[in-house]
Structure 1
Amino acid sequence: MEISKPVATCVRAAPNEQVADTKQETRGLVRTRDIDPDSVKVVRKLLAADHEAYLVGGCVRDLYLRRKPKDFDVATSATPEQIRRLFRNSRVIGRRFRLVHVYFGPKVIETSTFRSAPRSDDDDLLIRHDNEWGSVEDDARRRDFTVNGLFYDIETGRIVDFVDGLHDLDAGVIRTIGDAETRFREDPVRMIRAIKFAARLDFQIEPECWAALLNCAGDISKCSRARVLEELYKLMRGGASRRSFELLHVSGLLAHIWPPFVELLDDPTPAPSRLGDAPPHHPAMRLLRHLEALDDYVLETRQDIGNGVLAAVLFAPFLADEELQGARQELDRQVDDLMAKPSVYLGVARRDRELARQIIMAHRRMALPSRGGRRRSSLVQRQYFHDALIFLGISVEARGGDGSELRQWQALAEMSREGPVEPSESRSRRKRSRRRRRTPEDGRAPTHRGRRRPEAGQ
């Protein structure tokens, strides 16, 4: 992943010193109009309570690169309990890594306390608790990569850099803060994050960092499947999932994260050393095409995508076109096989597995020729239809369809938003003829089911 980028000269923080004076050097590098106003409110309220507080991490990185940050995080000297007392619209979350979510409607400003290096009493470097408070410099040196170790001072307009993060941003390099192997063994999920940032930012991974990643790949199995899967979902929502999965495969991480994936690659043809070298109809190539189509959708719409759609993107490529369009019973069996082993091993939640199943089964109905308005309108009313429509668009692009089915379903969805979708005349519901009520003239008294006939005079 060789990237040719000019390396600009930038001011670096000296050890134990909070940047001599970078206001001149960083003036104008962060446009204040791009900063979320609610994050500014959080910082200023913490400052007013005599705490240190900065914007931190990915938002500072993205602001510097002129990219729109997805989230704004705050780091402060205040403890979680002090933060909670300051903000009524907040709650403390996490045990391994305690922090505070400050809510502004649906928006969350994640606010964490400065941390220092946790104490370890054994040779196992894996961090199981990370709640040792420290200074702003301690916090910078506890972060994963130099490009994420930057702080932005709202009051002075300075970028505070203790870890040469500005230098690496200018150079286009992903580098760990401190010894790479130590940092990966402390938290193996950092290896997935290294790949995610390299792919998303189109940066190169620093050689020592890449060598450590290859050496520590097996440690990813020490992490909970829920954390690993959540990082994969974030990776898939970032607009560079194809490149990320190629790097996950080449690094050996994917084999440890999802062993059934490798088994599926080995059947019916040998797994390629690089995903992109697989034959056109190999599951690996179908997966890459789906990931590329997902990236196009993410970058074009900027919409958040649910876990069910992401799970369907992962699993559906292992079904051949003829299986997706074949008999329902056979597709049922194939989807059951996928959900029974690969999705469970990956740790996909039962709710998301069921939603992915519904999406894949709906895809069969949506991709087949129309079977009448009644069935189509009933599908549009399903709760999972919107997700199924997103997946249909991704699948059409990945499989090279002409898009006619997608346009038909999009038109039907638009009609349903305007009002109930009327079934076509040929499939309209027949009115049931009402049974004539029997009378005494028919020779039998009418029956009164469910209640007793009133007696005369009652």
Structure 2
Amino acid sequence: MLIRYTTGKNGKPVPLAKVYTAEEHGIDTSLIDYDAVRIARRLRRHGFQAYVVGGAVRDLLVGRVPKDFDMATDASPGQIRKLFRNSRTIGKRFRLVHIFFHDRKIIEVTTFRSLEDTGFNAVYGTIEEDAARRDFTLNSLYYDTEQNQVLDYTGGYEDIRARIVRPVIPLPRLFTEDPVRMIRAVKYQVRTGFRLTFRLRRRLQRSVGLLADTPPSRMSEEVFKIMMSGNSAGIVRSCYDFRMLQYMVPHLAAALRSDSDFATRFFRSLGTLDAHVLEHPADSRAVALAYFCAEFFYTRSEAGQQRRISTGDAYTELKQFLKPVTPPNREVEMAVQLLVRRRKAYHAAGEFSVPGNPELVEERKSRPRRRRRRSGRNQSSTAKKSE
């Protein structure tokens, strides 16, 4: 193991990070996305630092194929955009760059953030400051694709080996600054099979009420990430056990609490969704939404139990069921179409399921109806005038 140092105020070397070599970390380089390597190579060629960061490094260390590859660099968003024409800048306050590839693949590139970055003043910083801003240690590792080394500023490497989820940010600030970190902590626990440290678990249990003030946009983003994770059944169950689900999707939490049969069918539907996502990771969010709402729609909604389903009523009931989650209207409409079309299959099989990569029906623009011809031709009642 190597050590990265900096110079202290007294002029003496101060250790900053542990650096794990290829022999120590054992990452299978064949699992690394080639486009991520190309991004890092181009950034370095122009004098910038570039690392694979976050969940991708965590997954690589445990031998899993990462679902996404995120990058971190000291290049500003403007400098990144100049180097990659297939990119777009997003974000209102702290801007980051999405680089687009074929098959709808996106690699997110962020600039190192400073510890002084608070409020509406976006401040860029160093890699060590960026590591100190990360939420949990297992997501604060940086992988150097050129040197094949893992940089660890927070002890995340040892925590992954010990299979624990531990925060980087001090516990008194962790959830008060951002309550959504509670959802992420549970998500990491389920996805990795690691355990939350005792102090983290206790703090989470005491802080659940903070989720009540989460903006609907943030909650919607996290719930959709859960749906598309391939681990939705375990994550939603853990959120329910921690009493977090009542703030995420309160109507669902109430249904699970009051009806054990509904709970059994709902989690079975999420298990089917997870298998579908793993087999068809590029499917639309509307498909995931249909799986998520299926049991409610077929067994508890008024529209879903009608002989002739009103899509307008079904749309309204699904929107109400999902609150405060606010999916785009178009995705709810597409989910309703799927649920209506698959109702007979649901009742026949006892569970909701969608064939691989279904083509969702697009709404047809209203066209003027063609007038149907009558069977008999109208005889003209007018006679030619005789001269």
**TM-score, structure 1 length as denominator?**
0.70
Q: Residues 353 and 201 from structure 1, CA distance in 2 versus in 1: closer, same or farther, beyond 3 angstroms?
A: same
* Mapping for residues 406-417 of structure 1, pairs under 5 Å: none
Corresponding position of 2:10:
none
**CA distance in structure 2 between the aligned counterparts of 1:439 and 1:236, rounded to whole angstroms:** 65
Corresponding position of 2:50:
53
Please state how far the C-alpha of 1:318 moved relative to its aligned partner: 2.2
Corresponding position of 1:112:
110
1:310 aligns with 2:288: yes
Corresponding position of 2:20:
22
Corresponding position of 1:345:
324
Q: Size of the alignment, in residue pairs?
A: 362
**CA distance in structure 2 between the aligned counterparts of 1:21 and 1:314, rounded to whole angstroms:** 43
Corresponding position of 1:386:
none
Q: Is the 8 A contact 1:26 1:159 kept in 2?
A: no
User: Match of 1:343, as an amino acid?
Assistant: L
Corresponding position of 2:364:
none
Report the 3-state secondary structure (helix = DSSP H, G, I; strand = E; otherwise coil) of the residue aligned with 2:129: helix
Q: Is the 8 A contact 1:439 1:445 kept in 2?
A: no
* Mapping for residues 50-199 of structure 1, pairs under 5 Å: 50-105=47-102, 106-118=104-116, 129=120, 131-199=122-190
Q: Is the 8 A contact 1:175 1:205 kept in 2?
A: yes
Q: Residues 295 and 17 from structure 1, CA distance in 2 versus in 1: closer, same or farther, beyond 3 angstroms?
A: same
Report the 3-state secondary structure (helix = DSSP H, G, I; strand = E; otherwise coil) of the residue aligned with 1:395: coil
User: Match of 1:107, as an amino acid?
Assistant: K
**CA distance in structure 2 between the aligned counterparts of 1:115 and 1:164, rounded to whole angstroms:** 19
CA deviations 1:287-346 (Å, max 9, x no partner) are: 1111122123233x1423322222222322124559798542477697366335222432
1:223 aligns with 2:214: yes
Task: Identify the structure with the greater strand proportion.
Answer: 2
CA deviations 1:45-91 (Å, max 9, x no partner) are: 11111111111111111111111111111111111111112222222
User: Match of 1:158, as an amino acid?
Assistant: Q
Q: Show structure 1 runs of 5+ residues with no match.
A: 1-9, 121-127, 266-270, 273-277, 370-391, 397-405, 415-431, 447-458
**CA distance in structure 2 between the aligned counterparts of 1:333 and 1:103, rounded to whole angstroms:** 36
Q: Show structure 2 runs of 5+ residues with no match.
A: 7-13, 360-371
Please state how far the C-alpha of 1:212 moved relative to its aligned partner: 1.6
Q: Is the 8 A contact 2:240 2:253 kept in 1?
A: no
Report the 3-state secondary structure (helix = DSSP H, G, I; strand = E; otherwise coil) of the residue aligned with 1:112: strand
User: Match of 1:395, as an amino acid?
Assistant: F
Q: Is the 8 A contact 1:140 1:150 kept in 2?
A: yes
CA deviations 1:375-428 (Å, max 9, x no partner) are: xxxxxxxxxxxxxxxxx89615xxxxxxxxx8xx89xx99xxxxxxxxxxxxxx
Q: CA RMSD in A?
A: 3.3
Q: Is the 8 A contact 1:286 1:318 kept in 2?
A: no
Q: Is the 8 A contact 1:174 1:197 kept in 2?
A: yes
Q: Is the 8 A contact 1:14 1:162 kept in 2?
A: no
Q: Residues 60 and 263 from structure 1, CA distance in 2 versus in 1: closer, same or farther, beyond 3 angstroms?
A: closer
Report the 3-state secondary structure (helix = DSSP H, G, I; strand = E; otherwise coil) of the residue aligned with 1:84: helix
Report the 3-state secondary structure (helix = DSSP H, G, I; strand = E; otherwise coil) of the residue aligned with 1:338: helix
Report the 3-state secondary structure (helix = DSSP H, G, I; strand = E; otherwise coil) of the residue aligned with 2:352: helix
1:284 aligns with 2:263: yes
**CA distance in structure 2 between the aligned counterparts of 1:435 and 1:31, rounded to whole angstroms:** 74
Identity %: 33
**TM-score, structure 2 length as denominator?**
0.82
User: Match of 2:48, as an amino acid?
Assistant: H
Q: 1:293 aligns with which of 261, 272, 279?
A: 272
Query: Which protein is bigger by CA-based radius of gyration?
Result: 1
**CA distance in structure 2 between the aligned counterparts of 1:75 and 1:162, rounded to whole angstroms:** 14
Q: Is the 8 A contact 2:22 2:148 kept in 1?
A: no
Corresponding position of 1:361:
340
Q: Is the 8 A contact 1:118 1:129 kept in 2?
A: no
Q: Which is further off, 209-218 or 132-141?
A: 209-218
Corresponding position of 1:401:
none
**CA distance in structure 1 between the aligned counterparts of 2:176 and 2:280, rounded to whole angstroms:** 34
Report the 3-state secondary structure (helix = DSSP H, G, I; strand = E; otherwise coil) of the residue aligned with 1:131: coil
Report the 3-state secondary structure (helix = DSSP H, G, I; strand = E; otherwise coil) of the residue aligned with 1:328: coil
